[in-house]
Structure 1
């Protein structure tokens, strides 16, 4: 059997994800007949049927399911190789750190300082993205290392936990909820919520910053008509102060943004947020090892618990650390 080509895998993935040859052809910016011929040629090359075709639908076979999983991984690896080669060949390559703005446990400035003190020639480039984008940025070669919240998609990645901290509810200072020392999720019923723990932490409908919607609704359900999702912390805090939303946020964000019009309260049945540093499993660059080393050292030394968490009766902890990648 001849080796598969990237083009063949790209064609196959498009059809497998769309389950419609016409839509896949549009997505690939090509005509449908040559796409159909290419898929038939791929099936002949492999000696298996990848799709079950009827006049009404297209479905993956068992062989197609297996190839789809591996084809996605292969295409990610090819794209990552190209990105990394271009970066390594640039006149002044820099370590690229993927993260969500303000979701760094308050550690980023000290990590950058420690990384520089470890002999780095250039400061890292910060690659900012939305929640959940950082692991894929690593797999795609768009970043070399990332700060992420657990749980996350760990395919092809190694990681070390850095910091575990509670998730607090930010409510308007004159909200009746602010008079309570602590809350539970049931107390937030009927409220519009922004933020929350990463997907997989036990709630079926975890909201996200920038995704304001009524508490208890599914992601597919929209916020009230005319409501524009909040797009940054300044807008989120303004909405909290006016009683428009409740903001669920790691305690470190609350520490950095105390506001007279906002009260932060612990939520007893929300899981803690765990910050981790992650990198590709095949990473060998000394800069990656240096950043992970700096992050773990700073996290181990981060023992301060500030007023906002003390007042709420919660603490921030660092977990036991295992060795990071070797240079």
Structure 2
């Protein structure tokens, strides 16, 4: 696909995201008639109608939804290719490592520098909302991720399981308890999506309490903890994340019966190099400080050779 077509694809995705030609044109800093012509040309090239315009607004067709999904992946791949080309032109071996809060990548960095003394390593802090995006668009070569993640375009290997804990305000009525249960915590508001804690949701239903739907659930751990500290609600975090963000106005309590999470390592499908292979091997030597259980789909996972 030519660069001109990639530009048209970007234009289309702007409309697909806003479902508004006027807003998309404003974001792209182009005139609306120009945007309409470029998308018409893209539809002609693809032989499919991507957008339907009516008095009720703009909507994606079935073909439009498919192209939007595939198009985002294509643009990410194009961006990753450009970044790798620039790095290769510099003549220096480079690797960008992404990591979620609480996960330590120091052993990987130290191991890589021993094997490749001249390597340039970049560390990128990621979150739930971009831990995959940064890999697909080339900003990160290897990511320590919290599973599950969408695997399209990725190679993913689980590393270890990690306990999850409850975080509450230091003034919370349950703050003095040594441990808590989903049944007890179900009485209190959950300051994150119920999908993140199905045990809390089931316990709440069992008690005949409503389960809220929708709502504004921040991705950033810092904002979650601010909400916890300022209210009588509760949130669940991986143990290493809660430990990393230790603060005096928030307490951390174990919750027996709460399913543990899985930490994995991920990289772009098709990528292969000596540096990347070594980094993956080093990732398999990591352990969470609060757990030594290492599993793969319920079975013990053997580390890479």
The answer to whether the 8 Å contact 1:120/1:287 transfers is no
1:7 is paired with a residue whose SS is helix
1:110 is paired with a residue whose SS is helix
Deviation (angstroms), 1:221: 4.5
Deviation (angstroms), 1:158: 0.7
Deviation (angstroms), 1:96: 0.5
Determine which of 253, 261, 278 is the counterpart of 1:273: 261
Q: Distance in 1 between matches of 2:256 and 2:250?
A: 19
Q: Distance in 2 between matches of 1:258 and 1:51?
A: 49
Q: Distance in 2 between matches of 1:22 and 1:100?
A: 37
The answer to whether the 8 Å contact 1:161/1:277 transfers is yes
1:58 is paired with a residue whose SS is strand
Deviation (angstroms), 1:140: 0.5
Paired residue for 1:282? 270
Task: Report the count of equivalent residues.
Answer: 292
Q: Distance in 1 between matches of 2:239 and 2:81?
A: 37
Q: Distance in 2 between matches of 1:258 and 1:56?
A: 50
TM-score (norm 1): 0.73
Deviation (angstroms), 1:41: 2.2
Paired residue for 1:128? 125
Kindly indicate whether residue 297 of structure 2 is the aligned counterpart of residue 317 of structure 1: no
The answer to whether the 8 Å contact 2:11/2:28 transfers is yes
Deviation (angstroms), 1:276: 0.8
2:94 is paired with a residue whose SS is coil
Unpaired segments of 5 or more residues in structure 2? 202-209
Deviation (angstroms), 1:28: 1.3
Q: Distance in 1 between matches of 2:288 and 2:59?
A: 54
Deviation (angstroms), 1:175: 4.9
Q: Distance in 1 between matches of 2:211 and 2:172?
A: 20
Paired residue for 1:220? 215
Q: Distance in 2 between matches of 1:6 and 1:258?
A: 45
Paired residue for 1:291? 279
Determine which of 132, 153, 156 is the counterpart of 1:156: 153
When residues 46 and 259 of structure 1 are mapped into structure 2, their CA distance, relative to the original with a 3 A threshold, is closer
Deviations 1:274-293 (A, max 9, x none): 11111111111221111001
The answer to whether the 8 Å contact 1:196/1:249 transfers is no
